[in-house]
Amino acid sequence: MSKPTHNRLYHDLAYLWPLLSPPDNYIAETNTLHQVISDKLGKQSNSNLQVVELGAGGGHALFHLRDHFDCTAVDISDDMLHHCRILNPNVKTICADMRTVTFPEPQDAILIHDAIDYLTTEADILATLQNARKNLTPTGILIIAPTYTTESFEAGESATDRQSSHELDVTYTTTVLKPDPDDDLFEMHLEYHITHLKDGSTSVERDIHTCGLFPIPRWASLLSQAGFEPELYEESEETAWTLFVGNLP
């Protein structure tokens, strides 16, 4: 297993997360997740279904699911889980690596949303999918949603946004790059211009995230190798991801 990367946004800059990626950004995607879980596992007993998000970060996606399911958030960064505990007091939290985490009880649905981008090798993806399979009920489902696949990736894509609270004003730019055309990686370069409004101090911070980039057939093959029947969901214009469901045979 490769060493987990240390991304500043999830550690020393984690205080920016609630401002930069607020829960409202997750509405369209969590509507789809809710729909898929309900369709696959039955609409009647929703609140009793045990649902885990691996790499749940600040719990912004779980904010929209927590009242429908019995939710658990897993993340390798306790700085991120700190936000999740404040936002979602009814969600259980486990600070652990998604490749090896275990649960006291089997889960009905395991979600790996934007955090799956941080698995950079096939071996790490397979370890995570196999571990998820071990932690599911016999009728459970796995949902994975990489932000980019080789098919959807466009090197050089860039976006700038600005967000303010009563304490902070942050302008930040995100650019995705593909330094080596022959490997399975892409880089996300982030630059934050931060003003602390109480004392007027400013700083510029930079952060580079190394992420995995794999074609759709490779995702499907890895799901099969881990014992799932892979199902590719149709893209919707509102969701920025490629969604796969891993069904158990």
Ligand X SMILES: C[S@@+](CC[C@H](N)C(=O)[O-])C[C@H]1O[C@@H](n2cnc3c(N)ncnc32)[C@H](O)[C@@H]1O
Contact residues: ligand X, CB under 6 A: 4, 10, 26, 54-61, 75-77, 80, 97-99, 113-115, 118
- Closest to ligand X by CB, 1 vs 177, is 1
Cα distance between residue 165 and residue 42, in whole Å: 40
Residue type, 168: L
Rounded to the nearest whole angstrom, what is the least distance from the CB of residue 242 to ligand X in the complex? 16
Cα distance between residue 223 and residue 229, in whole Å: 7
- Closest to ligand X by CB, 188 vs 194, is 188
Rounded to the nearest whole angstrom, what is the least distance from the CB of residue 207 to ligand X in the complex? 12
- Closest to ligand X by CB, 10 vs 69, is 10
- The CA-CA-CA angle for residues 129, 131, 136, to 5°, reads 90
Rounded to the nearest whole angstrom, what is the least distance from the CB of residue 132 to ligand X in the complex? 12
- Closest to ligand X by CB, 152 vs 195, is 152
The Cα-based distances of 218 to 118, 181, 215, 221, 224 in angstroms read: 16, 17, 5, 5, 10
Strand partners, 244: 144, 232
Rounded to the nearest whole angstrom, what is the least distance from the CB of residue 39 to ligand X in the complex? 21
- Closest to ligand X by CB, 54 vs 136, is 54
Rounded to the nearest whole angstrom, what is the least distance from the CB of residue 30 to ligand X in the complex? 9
Q: Report helix, strand or coil for 196.
A: strand
Closest-CA residue to 134 (of 41, 226, 223): 226
Which residue's beta carbon is nearest to the bound ligand X? 57
Cα distance between residue 227 and residue 166, in whole Å: 49
Rounded to the nearest whole angstrom, what is the least distance from the CB of residue 199 to ligand X in the complex? 28
| Exposure string over 230-247, b if 16+ CB within 10 A, otherwise e | bbebeeeeebebbbbbbe
Cα distance between residue 80 and residue 7, in whole Å: 11
- Closest to ligand X by CB, 25 vs 139, is 25
